[in-house]
Structure 1
Amino acid sequence: MTHHTQPARRICPSCDGFATAAITLGGRDRHGHLRTITVHCPACHGTGTITARRVREGAGA
């Protein structure tokens, strides 16, 4: 019986797969916790992967 494999996911070239980062705002709140914000990669919208582009035959020729 044959086994079908999934194609490898393409890693986002903008963030190299590290799509979300926590950035400290400096200082701490009144409970002693660091104040941070979460930022997502604008190219892949926080997924870390991009979709494969389809090449159309005969386009641009």
Structure 2
Amino acid sequence: MPQHARNTRVCRDCDGFATAAVTTGARHADGTRATLRIACPTCKGTGHTIPAGVVRVGR
């Protein structure tokens, strides 16, 4: 019997890939590459967004 997956809201800016490793081009003393970890500013590195609240405008 198939299991139903929960619909989690994926961040529209990073498409769920919230953290990226960017190489700087430099190398450490042991020869490994120096990288920076960059997090998505919209979801703060979680990959998910919270649903927007209901806003009532008017009377």
Tell me the TM-score range normalised by the shorter chain. 0.7 to 0.9
Unmatched segments (≥5 aa) in structure 1: none
Does residue 36 of structure 2 align to residue 60 of structure 1? no
Q: How many residues align?
A: 55
TM-score by length of 1: 0.78
Shift of 1:6: 7.3
Counterparts in 2 of 1:18-57, with a 5 A limit?
A: 18-56=17-55
Q: Aligned partners of 1:54, 1:60: CA distance in 2, in Å? A: 13
Task: Find runs of 4+ consecutive structure 1 residues off by over 6 angstroms.
Answer: none
Unmatched segments (≥5 aa) in structure 2: none
TM-score by length of 2: 0.81
Q: Aligned partners of 1:40, 1:13: CA distance in 2, in Å? A: 14
Q: Calculate the aligned-residue CA RMSD, in Å.
A: 1.6
